[in-house]
Amino acid sequence: MPYHVFMTDDTSPDPQQDASHDRAAEPPPDPFSEPLPDPSGGPSGDRSGHVRPTFARIVLARPRLFGCIALALLVGTLLPDSLIPHAVTRVIVAWNAGALTYLALTLHMMFASSHEQMRTRAKGQDEGRALILAMVVMAAVASLSAIVGELALARDLHGAVRFNHVALAMGTLLTSWTFTQVMFATHYAHDYYLALERDGVGGLAFANEEQPDYGDFLYFSCVIGTSAQTADVSFTSRAMRRTGLLHCVLAFFFNATLLALTINIASGLI
């Protein structure tokens, strides 16, 4: 019986086989990588496709602040015990070194920035704003505690040495107060422009000023820092009022510390 071979002209590929072949050719996914939101390499990633960890993005968005923190840590570590034997004094000197450097850099940035640069900086520093504000409050409270410790140390000293410790405490109080006002000013400014872009309302109403600059926010911050009042600037949002409440409470403790320091110096108790 003859055998017949049947040939077909259907040479189209099998879709299931092609799909299996494509899946086999693809590399396995990396469980430790995340997709890059911005292919061009935005603030949250780089051009290689890797997303930076959250804390790394927060640090890189604020080079002045974290650079000055590193400077303060370096100064505190390198100060010899033979020069400054008291730990609280070394902490205060290191704090002043970092805070004064930050103030110089930030005030220069403030008065050299345009409104467009303010908006761009607000977007770049949006992530971690609450964390930075919490750090500011903790730093302010810690500096007040260090000032009290320095004054307690000065009570047991005499002559020029005692005067130097008291002067250092007073200078540190001024540095800490100024640092706090500048940090709150930048926080108000960035919150204002973020809210303005998101909701159309910035949360603060400046008299006859639709585009306030850093100087306006610094004025507003210093008014709260000195008198716990808002003068001619009004709160128009709940979020801003909460920030202002925290600022007022912190200003109260600064002013109370300054008053106590002045009374103690005048009465000769330290």
- For the chain, the farthest-separated pair of C-alpha atoms sits apart, in whole angstroms, at 129
Q: Which helix (H) or strand (E) holds 233?
A: strand 233-235
pLDDT value at 24 more than 90: no
Angle separating helix axes 87-111 and 63-78, nearest 10 degrees: 160
List the Cα angle 232/233/234 in 5-degree steps: 115
pLDDT at residue 43, as a whole number: 47
pLDDT category of residue 63 using cuts at 50, 70 and 90:
very high
| 244 vs 228, higher pLDDT | 244
pLDDT category of residue 161 using cuts at 50, 70 and 90:
confident
Instruction: Read off the pTM.
Output: 0.78
User: What distances in angstroms separate CA 92 from CA 72, 119, 138, 148, 181, one per listed residue?
Assistant: 10, 34, 15, 11, 19
What residues are paired with 45 via a beta bridge?
A: 51
- b/e map 18-31, b = 16+ CB within 10 Å: eeeeeeeeeeeeee
Amino acid at 166: V
Asked if 119 and 193 touch (Cβ cutoff 8 Å), the reply is yes
Residue pointed to by tokens 């505190």: 76
pLDDT at residue 8, as a whole number: 47
pLDDT value at 188 more than 90: yes
Decide: helix, strand or coil at residue 155.
coil
Calculate mean pLDDT across residues 189-217: 90
Calculate mean pLDDT across residues 44-52: 54
Share of the chain above pLDDT 90, in %: 52
Average pLDDT value over all residues in the chain: 82
Q: H/E/C letters for each residue in 6-58?
A: CCCCCCCCCHHHHHHHHHHHCCCCCCCCCCCCCCCCCCCECCCCCECCHHHHH
Q: Sign of the C-alpha dihedral, residues 208, 213, 219, 220?
A: positive
Determine which of 60-64, 90-94, 198-202 has the lowest per-residue pLDDT on average: 198-202
Determine which of 156-160, 199-203, 262-266 has the lowest per-residue pLDDT on average: 262-266
Render pLDDT for 98-153 as a digit per residue (tens, 0 to 9). Answer: 999 999 999 999 999 999 999 999 999 988 889 999 999 999 999 999 998 888 88
pLDDT at residue 118, as a whole number: 93
Residue 251 class from Cβ within 10 Å (0-12 exposed, 13-18 middle, 19+ buried)?
buried
Calculate mean pLDDT across residues 48-58: 71
Residue pointed to by tokens 């109370």: 256
pLDDT at residue 155, as a whole number: 81
DSSP codes joined into one string, 91-137: HHHHHHHHHHHHHHHHHHHHHT--HHHHHHHHHHT-TTHHHHHHHHH
Calculate mean pLDDT across residues 35-40: 40
